[in-house]
């Protein structure tokens, strides 16, 4: 869960920092991407398994804390890499569609052009069943 929140935060900041505040606006549903992206899901599963393995080790609490900190640092780097991939895909789609600004769908009540499907195509993500926005 921490990784998802970090991913969403980094993604929002990364997209907002590189775009001029003008229209038209593209929107990306990051939750949908995270839920459908097998690469991201694989890293999440790996993180959960490694966290569990650390917790089950017969080591001192201090050693477990060091191991957990190293694990979090490594997955922080992976999160940055994945954020950059999504940002690059969104930028590519924005250029193709002539969009000046791309925001995440989260926090946007209405308006904008949803480019999530296009971003998923660039990232080779196959959509699984997800609820409609606002559900």
Q: What is the pLDDT of residues 56-111, one digit of tens each?
A: 999 999 998 999 999 999 999 999 999 999 999 999 999 999 999 999 888 787 77
Q: Which of 20-29, 43-52, 107-116 has the highest mean pLDDT?
A: 43-52
CA angle 89, 90, 96 (to 5 degrees): 90
Laid out side by side, the sheet with 25-28 consists of 101-104, 25-28, 113-114
What sign does the dihedral 103-106-111-112 (CA atoms) show? positive
For residue 11, what pLDDT is reported?
A: 55
Q: Which domains does the chain have, with CATH numbers?
A: 2-122 (3.30.910.20)
pTM here is 0.68
**Helix, strand, coil share (%) of the chain residues, nearest 5:** 65, 5, 30
pLDDT value, residue 96: 93
């Amino acid at each position: 869960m921490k990784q998802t929140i970090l991913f969403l935060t980094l993604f929002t900041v990364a997209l907002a920092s590189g775009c001029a505040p003008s229209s038209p606006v593209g929107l990306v549903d990051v939750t949908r991407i995270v839920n459908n992206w097998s690469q991201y899901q694989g890293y999440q599963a790996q993180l959960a398994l490694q966290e569990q393995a650390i917790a089950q080790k017969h080591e001192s609490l201090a050693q477990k804390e060091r191991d957990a900190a190293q694990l979090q640092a490594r997955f922080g780097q992976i999160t940055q890499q994945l954020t950059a991939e999504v940002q690059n895909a969104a930028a590519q789609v924005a250029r193709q569609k002539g969009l000046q600004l791309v925001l995440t769908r989260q926090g946007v009540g209405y308006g904008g052009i949803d480019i999530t499907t296009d971003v998923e195509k660039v990232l080779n993500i196959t959509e699984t069943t997800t609820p409609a926005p606002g559900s």
